[in-house]
Amino acid sequence: YPRALQASKVFLSGRDVDEQYDYIIVGGGTAGLTVADRLTEDGKNTVLVVEYGELSNSPLISTVQGGFMGMSDSQFLYDIQSVPQKNLQNRSIAVLAGKVVGGSSAVNAMMTVRGTAADYDRWGNFFGANSHWSWDGLLPYFKRALNFAPPDAAVTESAEITYDTSFWGNTSGVYAGWPSFQYPGTTAQMDAFRGIPGVPFVKDSGSGEPGVYWYPTFMDPTLVERSYARTGHHDKAANRTNYHLVAGSKVLKVVLDGTTATGVSFVPVGSKKDTPQTVVSARKEVIVAAGGIHSPQILQLSGIGPRELLSSANITTVVDLPGVGQNFQDHPIIQATFTYRKFTYRPTSQDLFLNATFSAWADTVWAANRTGPNSLATGNAAAWLPFPVISPRSADISSALAAQNHTLYLPADTDPTVAAGYRAQMLSYASALKENSTAFYNLVLTGGATNGIVVDLHPLSRGTVNIDVSDPYNKEPLVDYRALSNPMDVDIMTDLIKFTRRYHLDNPMTKEWAATELSPGASTQTDAQFADYLAETLSPSEFHPAGTCAMMPRELGGVVDEELKVYGVQGLRVVDAATMATLVGGNTCQTVYAIAEKAADLIRFGPPTVVE
C-alpha cells in the first residue's frame, strides 16, 4: 500500500478490518465522517467507516475556483439517471451524489448557508411542542459544525459584506471561509432588491432569517482550498488507532439478528456477483450515513421498508416500515435568464475570459498569495425570500394548499401513514406560504450581466427512491422525483418566475441596466404558457436529495425517531440528509453537518434532558 494510506489506517481491502467495532458507519460522506470523528475523539470507542468511493487527493476536489471542479470528474459521482419524468416531457435527470471519501461535501459547489429558523422548528413540530429539534436546539450544533473565518478587511469594506460572528463557532476542522475578492456588480445586485417593497436584508447568513445576504464558502482560509468532511474530520481522525476506514467498498446490507442490527456486510466495489462478503459486527450500533439516495436503498436491502416492495424483490421483511424511500424531495431549479445591455460594473467573471489584462492580474495574484478572483467559488450573495414578498396571491395559494386533498398527489399505493405525514407537511407549508419566516425563493447573484438560476426552496411534490427489484443488490435504486406531481408547484414556480421578471424589468433599482429576458421570454404570459415552459425546462434537482428516511413520528410515515433511531430496529440509526422530513430553505450541506454533530451527542449522551 502507499505508505501514507497505511499510516493513516485507511484500509484498501476488507481483509484488513477487525472483526468487531463499537460502531460501524455506512458511508464516509458529509455526515458519516463527522460522526466518526466525534465518536473517536475521546479514544473510548472503536469505529469503522465503510465507504464506496476512494480516498482522493485530486486537485479537482481541492480547487475552489469557480466552485464546480469537484463535479466535473465522473469518477467522484454515482452514475444514476432518474426515471423519465412524466410531467417533464419524459425527460430523465442526472442524479448527482458524491462517491469519494468526503461524499457530496467533496464535490459540492461550496455554498455555505443555513435554512431559516422556521425550517428547523417545523421538524420538531411534527413531534409536538417539546421537541429538541428546533432552531434553538440546533444552533449550538451549527456553531460546532463550522469554523468561521471572517473575510479580510479590504474585501469586507469594498463589497460591503456584513456578518455577525455570534451565529458561528471557531472550533471545527471544517471551515466557512471567504474569498479575498468580490465582483462589484454583486453588491449592486443585492442593493437592487431595495427597489422592491418588503424585501428583508439580513446581516448574517447564519441568523435563521430569510432575506438578502452574504454567505461564506466551504474553504480553508489559509490553504484557500475546499474544506470538507475529509479534510475537517477524516484527516483529523486518521491518526487515531480507534478509527478505521475502508474505502472502495460497497455495503450491501445491515446484518440483523431478529430486529437488532449486529453489523454490516460489504464487498469491494466492482467485484463479481459471487465474491464473498466481508461481515463485520458492531458491539453498539450501526449508523447508516449513505445520503438521501443510498440510505433508503440500504435499509430496503436489509429488509426494512415497505413490505410489498421488499417481497417483489424477494427480500424478507424484517420491519414493515412504509416510509423508507418515500417522501423524496430535492430543490427544483427554474431557468429564468436575464441579461443586461447596460451593466456598467466591471470587472465581471466574464472578464476572466474576455479581458487579458484582468485575467493576467488574476493569475499573478493567485500565484503570489492565493488571492484575487481565483479564490472565488460560486459566489457569496443571494436572495432567500418569503412567499408574501414574492407573490400578490400568497394568501390564496396558502388557502388552496390547505384545502387540497393531498393524498391525490402521492403514488396510488401510498401507505396511509405516509399520506398522513404528507398532509402534515402540506398544512405546515400552507401556513408558511402566508408568513414571512420561511424562504421559498432563491436567486443567486453573480455580479455579472447575465443571471439565470432561480430555486424553489420548498417544493410540494414528493418522489420515491426504491430498490430496483430486477436486480436489487447490483443496480442503483430507481430515483423518481415525481416532479410537478402536486400541480400547485406550477402555481408557486410561476410566481417565482414572475417575481424574477419584476426584479429585472420593473424595478427602479435595475432600470438603468436595461435587462432583456432570454427565458422564458416575453411571450410566456398565461398560466398555460408557464406550465408548458416548466415542463420543458425545469430541473427537479439542485443535488440536494432529502427526506427518504424522514425523522417524523411513525404514524406520520417516519423512518427514524427524534434520536434518529430506525423504528422497530434496535442498534440502528440513520444520520444524513435522508432524515430531513422537509427540505430547508437553503443548500443542504451545512444542515447535514449540524444534524451529524447533534447525532454524535445523541449517540454518546442520549437525548437532552433540557432543551438547549
Ligand X SMILES: Cc1cc2nc3c(=O)[nH]c(=O)nc-3n(C[C@H](O)[C@H](O)[C@H](O)COP(=O)(O)OP(=O)(O)OC[C@H]3O[C@@H](n4cnc5c(N)ncnc54)[C@H](O)[C@@H]3O)c2cc1C
| Binding residue numbers | 100, 251
Per CB under 6 A, 63 contacts ligand X = no
Total residues belonging to the chain: 612
251 forms beta bridges with 266
Per CB under 6 A, 381 contacts ligand X = no
Q: What is d(CA 225, CA 222) in angstroms, rounded to the nearest whole number?
A: 8
How many CB atoms are located within 10 Å of the residue 605 CB? Answer: 9
Read off the amino acid at residue 482. Answer: R
Which one, 77 or 310, has the nearer CB to ligand X?
Answer: 77
Per CB under 6 A, 291 contacts ligand X = yes
List binding-site positions for FAD. Answer: 100, 251
Of 90-98, 201-209, 355-363, 434-442, the window that binds ligand X (rule: CB under 6 A) is: 90-98
Per CB under 6 A, 50 contacts ligand X = yes
Per CB under 6 A, 212 contacts ligand X = no
Place of cell 466591471: 346
Per CB under 6 A, 108 contacts ligand X = yes
Minimum separation from the CB atom of position 94 to ligand X (A): 10
Q: What is d(CA 236, CA 252) in angstroms, rounded to the nearest whole number?
A: 28
Which one, 531 or 577, has the nearer CB to ligand X?
Answer: 577
Minimum separation from the CB atom of position 409 to ligand X (A): 25
Per CB under 6 A, 217 contacts ligand X = no
Minimum separation from the CB atom of position 158 to ligand X (A): 24
Minimum separation from the CB atom of position 419 to ligand X (A): 25
Q: In the bound complex, which residue of the shown chain has the CB atom lying closest to ligand X?
A: 29
> Which of 331, 544, 565, 598 lies at the binding interface for ligand X (CB under 6 A)?
544
> Which of 265, 375, 438, 588 lies at the binding interface for ligand X (CB under 6 A)?
588
- Could you give the C-alpha distances from 105 to 94, 371, 435, 562, in angstroms and in order? 18, 23, 32, 25
Minimum separation from the CB atom of position 148 to ligand X (A): 15
Minimum separation from the CB atom of position 311 to ligand X (A): 22
> Which of 535, 577, 594, 603 lies at the binding interface for ligand X (CB under 6 A)?
577
Of 453-461, 500-508, 514-522, 587-595, the window that binds ligand X (rule: CB under 6 A) is: 587-595
Which among 493, 275, 448, 262 has a CA at the least distance from the CA of 345?
448
Q: What is d(CA 84, CA 93) in angstroms, rounded to the nearest whole number?
A: 8
Which one, 266 or 441, has the nearer CB to ligand X?
Answer: 266
CA 66 to chain centre: 19
Minimum separation from the CB atom of position 136 to ligand X (A): 22
Per CB under 6 A, 398 contacts ligand X = no
Number of residues interacting with ligand X: please give it, by CB under 6 A: 41
> Which of 48, 61, 64, 97 lies at the binding interface for ligand X (CB under 6 A)?
97
Per CB under 6 A, 53 contacts ligand X = yes
One symbol per residue from 218 to 257: x for binding ligand X (CB under 6 A), - otherwise; what is it? --------------------------------xx------
Minimum separation from the CB atom of position 554 to ligand X (A): 22
Q: What is d(CA 578, CA 27) in angstroms, rounded to the nearest whole number?
A: 13
Q: What is d(CA 124, CA 143) in angstroms, rounded to the nearest whole number?
A: 19
DSSP state of 90: T
Secondary structure in 3-state letters for 100-130: ECCHHHHCCCCECCCCCHHHHHHHHHCCCCC
Per CB under 6 A, 107 contacts ligand X = yes
- Could you give the C-alpha distances from 343 to 181, 387, 513, in angstroms and in order? 19, 28, 5
Per CB under 6 A, 589 contacts ligand X = yes
Q: Which three cell numbers mark 83?
A: 426515471
Per CB under 6 A, 376 contacts ligand X = no
Of 80-88, 337-345, 510-518, 588-596, the window that binds ligand X (rule: CB under 6 A) is: 588-596
Per CB under 6 A, 543 contacts ligand X = yes
One symbol per residue from 270 to 289: x for binding ligand X (CB under 6 A), - otherwise; what is it? -------------------x
> Which of 17, 39, 47, 110 lies at the binding interface for ligand X (CB under 6 A)?
110
Answer whether 534's CB lies under 8 Å from 524's CB. no
Read off the amino acid at residue 458. Answer: H
Q: What is d(CA 541, CA 333) in angstroms, rounded to the nearest whole number?
A: 6
Answer whether 327's CB lies under 8 Å from 69's CB. no
> Which of 143, 234, 294, 331 lies at the binding interface for ligand X (CB under 6 A)?
294
One symbol per residue from 23 to 42: x for binding ligand X (CB under 6 A), - otherwise; what is it? ---xxxxxxx----------
350: three-class secondary structure by DSSP? coil
- List phi, psi (to 5°) of 529: -65, -40
Which one, 32 or 169, has the nearer CB to ligand X?
Answer: 32
Per CB under 6 A, 109 contacts ligand X = yes
Answer whether 217's CB lies under 8 Å from 65's CB. no
Secondary structure in 3-state letters for 393-456: CHHHHHHHHHHCCHHHHCCCCCCHHHHHHHHHHHHHHHHHHCCCCCEEEEEECCCCCEEEEEEE
DSSP state of 151: P
- Could you give the C-alpha distances from 203 to 159, 162, 213, 294, in angstroms and in order? 14, 5, 7, 37
Place of cell 408558511: 432
> Which of 36, 47, 111, 492 lies at the binding interface for ligand X (CB under 6 A)?
111
> Which of 372, 510, 587, 597 lies at the binding interface for ligand X (CB under 6 A)?
587
Per CB under 6 A, 592 contacts ligand X = yes
Per CB under 6 A, 264 contacts ligand X = no
Which one, 289 or 531, has the nearer CB to ligand X?
Answer: 289
Answer whether 39's CB lies under 8 Å from 45's CB. yes
Binding site for ligand X (CB under 6 A): 26-32, 50-53, 71, 96-99, 103-105, 107-111, 250-251, 289-292, 294, 298, 543-544, 576-577, 587-590, 592
